[in-house]
Amino acid sequence: MEDARNLIDKYKGKENEQIFADLAKSRNTLEIAVENVEHDFNIGSIIRTANSFNVKKVHIIGKKKYNRRGAMCTDKYLEIEHHASLEDFLKNQKNRELVAIENNTERAKPLHDKKFIQNTTLIFGSENSGITKELLAKAHDVRYIESFGSTRSVNVGAAAAIAMYEWTRQNLFAGNPVD
């Protein structure tokens, strides 16, 4: 029987646990956090992108439920950790730079100027209300993605993909070793 899952050939026919274990051998140090205050459907898309970049972990802060269909089963191949509160999440983030991707604050600077370190956690909020003031206050840095058309922002799922790519470009493509 043909394996119809959206997998690269190397993983076709393998059990989910085998894929998870093999990916764990080469995970990078990037972590992703999504503040789920509105049960945002974009979380599934962010998880799928996180799998594509083989991030270390995805943190969901707030509501545990997310759109698993949008993740296209990729949530089976990476670690997802739920945090019921902001405090619980922050306890988990010692020795990591917290970089919020948010365009709704004067504190934000352009993403293209950011020099990422290895131990970064990128933080995203919900599509409608963004990242809460409480979490923004805890972020070490806040960045926005420049817009060149008539809309002031890209979809949060697209923003996550752009930011993950930029971290990867700086830390993996540039020949920097992953811790």
What is the pLDDT, as a whole number, of residue 37? 64
Of 49-53, 160-164, 175-179, the range with the lowest mean pLDDT is 175-179
At 17, phi and psi to the nearest 5?
Answer: -65, -35
In whole angstroms, give the CA distance from residue 16 to residue 45.
Answer: 19
Residue 176 has pLDDT above 80, yes or no: no
Residue 111 corresponds to which tokens in the numbers above?
């993403």
Strongest mean pLDDT among 18-27, 60-69, 151-160? 18-27
Residue 177 has pLDDT above 60, yes or no: no
What is the pLDDT, as a whole number, of residue 179? 47
What is the pLDDT, as a whole number, of residue 126? 86
CB 8 within 8 A of CB 157: no
**pTM for the structure as a whole:** 0.92
Which of 66, 131, 50, 69 lies closest to 98, judged by CA? 131
Which has the higher per-residue pLDDT, 38 or 26?
A: 26
Integer Rg of the chain from CA: 16
What is the pLDDT, as a whole number, of residue 29? 96
Q: 90-135: per-residue pLDDT in tens?
A: 999 999 999 999 998 899 999 999 999 999 999 999 888 899 999 9
93, amino acid identity: Q
Q: 34-82: per-residue pLDDT in tens?
A: 998 676 678 989 999 999 999 999 999 998 777 676 677 888 989 999 9
Q: Measuring CA to CA, how many Å separate 14 from each of 3, 53, 60, 70, 71?
A: 9, 20, 27, 22, 19
Residue 165 has pLDDT above 70, yes or no: yes
Residue 75 CA, chain-centre distance (Å), reads: 12
In whole angstroms, give the CA distance from residue 69 to residue 89.
Answer: 25
The CATH homologous superfamily to which domain 11-173 belongs is: SPOUT methyltransferase, trefoil knot domain (3.40.1280.10)
Of 20-24, 39-43, 133-137, 146-150, the range with the lowest mean pLDDT is 39-43
Helix runs in 25-132, H state only? 42-52, 68-71, 86-91
Counting beta carbons within 10 angstroms of the beta carbon of residue 103, is it exposed (0 to 12), middle (13 to 18) or buried (19 or more)? middle
